[in-house]
Amino acid sequence: MKTTFSVPLSRIIEDFSLETVAAAPSPDEAQVTVTEINRPGLQFNGYYEFFDSDRIQIIGLNEHGFLVEMPEAERNRRIRDFFEQRPTAVIVTRGLEILPAMREAAEQCGVPLLRTAESTSSFMAALIAYLNLHLAPRITRHGVLVEVYGEGILLLGESGVGKSETAIELVKRGHRLIADDAVEIRRVSNKSLVGSAPDNIRHFIELRGIGIINVSRIFGVGAVKLTEKIDLVLNLEPWDATKNYDRMGLETQKTEILGLEIPSVTIPVQPGRNLAVIIEVAAMNNRQKKLGYNAAQDLLTRVGMADGLQPADVPAEPF
């Protein structure tokens, strides 16, 4: 069953510093559940065939000017018809005058009426991005999310494999922690996943033998970050001598999260391996691949083995 997420209208009012003209019902009770918004020009012309009252309605200069030029009786009737649809909220942009009929209809119909001084286009762009983030499909994965050289690296693996210890070493080397233990992953677009930490455990990390530490307090606020796009998934697992690990990097592994396939790498863990350095190299190598350069393919081209070579043909021993 599809889960529907929501964000309180009161939070949108606070985050965008909106002026409350009419607030019935209370903004704390009103919930926004859809990412789409609407400019009701067609509705002020009387067309409601595909009107979605769950969308936030934006009244900009065009809609406002259209209403002002109408005869007063006709204007009041169309405004009343519009508010009787009971949209989630109506926001007037550019600090435009609130028409008396708007205020009256909003109060009578129990529709929150808000105002912002921002231009219509910039406000709509910011609001859509905000709703895409807060209403995005999401899951929680057990793992660690760090930013390494600008790449969002999601570390997955069984408990005790060393994810948190590796994250601390990366922080000491100048990289940033986003989440430890529980990573909230949101699909913010058809191409992007963004990870963050739950509010109650943000910036805390557990180190076996030491306990819970606050990374931002110990290493400073520059060592943490609130959110980060997930660019690469690293699966950490104990070294298995019977398993054949990728030695060349010709195969492109993928991990599916929320319907999107993210590049992934499996890293075997054993004593003596410096995981922090390996992860740094994996981040830089992933960035190079996104820029169109594959080191393994380049090497095979130089030695004349690029044509017709399959991953299974790669020698078992390193060159």
Q: Tell me the catalytic residues.
A: 142, 163, 181, 247
Burial class of residue 181 in the structure, from the number of CB atoms within 10 Å of its CB (0-12 exposed, 13-18 middle, 19+ buried): middle
The count of C-alpha atoms lying within 13 angstroms of the C-alpha of 225, restricted to the half-sphere facing its C-beta, is 20
Tokens read off for 149: 């050289």
The count of C-alpha atoms lying within 13 angstroms of the C-alpha of 23, restricted to the half-sphere facing its C-beta, is 12
Whether cis (ω within 30° of 0) applies to the bond prior to 268 is: no
In order, the DSSP letters of 243-298 are S---SS--S-EEEEETTEEEEEEEEEE-TT--HHHHHHHHHHHHHHHHTT--HHHH
